[in-house]
Structure formats: structure tokens, C-alpha cells
Amino acid sequence: MNGRGFARAFGVAMAIAAPVLVSAPGAEAAVTTTIYLNPAGLPGYQAQLDQSIANWNAAVPNVKLVKRSTGTITFRQVSGGGSYTNTNGHGRGTIVIDTVQAGQYSPTRIIAHEIGHNLGLPDHYTGPCSELMSGHGPGTSCLNAKPDAREAAQVKQNFINGLAAVQEFKTVS
């Protein structure tokens, strides 16, 4: 079968299948949410941002993080004051990275942690290094920049209905 024929056959199949999918009770929503991050404000940490994005994409199957100039998550570098984010916890926010702190702690872990807030995760400073949201809690020797299984499962659940949920913006570190 050539490509054109396959496309026609696929279109017919979709037209038939769509009403069945809509009416199927209990079917898990197969929604993949793409969230765009504008890297322009983070010139000193592009490799670390790339690694943070890769870590999240590997851990959560239904959320895809992509760098794009018109991203709904933006970045800013500051010197001192600590890293933090102002976010709605659902794919929109501003992440501020403190370059002084990034010289003490793993910058990849910091960036991945702040992205975690933008994906709806709260801080858990008393957690172990294996948790991303334990943040500075485990100390400067903690280099882990990957969410653990529980954190990844929570983000998957947070976006099970895509970007439908609307939440208030708040600032957390």
C-alpha cells in the first residue's frame, strides 16, 4: 500500500472509531501535554536546562517538555537571593535561577526542581536526595536531578486531563 492509500484508509478508520472512543466508559484519557519552555533568560545554563528537560521527559510519559522561544515557562538569572519560581503549577511560570546558589548546589538539580513546581509538585525538604523536590534539604553533595517514581507518578496524574485545570499563581522556592 502506498502512502496516499494508507492515509485515506486511516482517515476512514478514525471517522468510524472516534464516536466509539468518546462513548467508551472508564477509558483512560490518552492525552499528551506539550509544555514549552523559553530558554532565552538562562544563557549560562543551557546544557543543564537540556538535561533537566531530558530527565523529566524520560520520567513522565504524558508530559512533553520542549524548548521554544514562545514558551509559557520563562527563565531569569539573578546573583544572590536564592532560586525560586512563580507558577500556576500547571505549565506556566517564571523560574529565577540564582547563579550564586547554582555555584554551590547542582544547577541541573535546581532547574529540574523548579520545573517540578511548574508541573504541580510541592517542596519536600525533609526528603532524601533521590527526591527532586527535597531541594537543598540533602545538602550540596546531592547531585540527583531526576524525579523519583512517586514524583513522576504525581506529575502524570496532574496532567491526566491535559492543561484543563486552572490554578492560581504563587511563588515558591
**Does residue 123 belong to the site contacting Zn ion (CB under 5 A)?**
yes
Name the 3-class secondary structure at 37.
Answer: strand
Window of 35-43, 119-127, 138-146, 152-160 that interacts with Zn ion by CB under 5 A: 119-127
Size of the site for Zn ion (CB under 5 A): 3
By beta-carbon proximity to Zn ion, the closer residue of 99 and 173 is 173
d(CA 122, CA 120): 7
Residues 77-116, one symbol each (x = binds Zn ion by CB under 5 A, - = not), give ----------------------------------------
β-bridge mates for residue 67, sequence order: 37
Contacts of 129 (CB under 8 A, 6+ apart): 138, 142, 143, 144
114 is catalytic: yes
117 is in an annotated binding site: yes
**Does residue 124 belong to the site contacting Zn ion (CB under 5 A)?**
no
Stated as kind and residue range, the H or E segment containing 36 is strand 33-37
Outline where 25-106 has alpha helix (H): 46-59, 99-102
108 is in an annotated binding site: yes
Residues catalogued as catalytic: 114
Where does this chain bind Zn ion (CB under 5 A)? 123, 135, 173
Binding-site residue positions: 108, 113, 117, 123
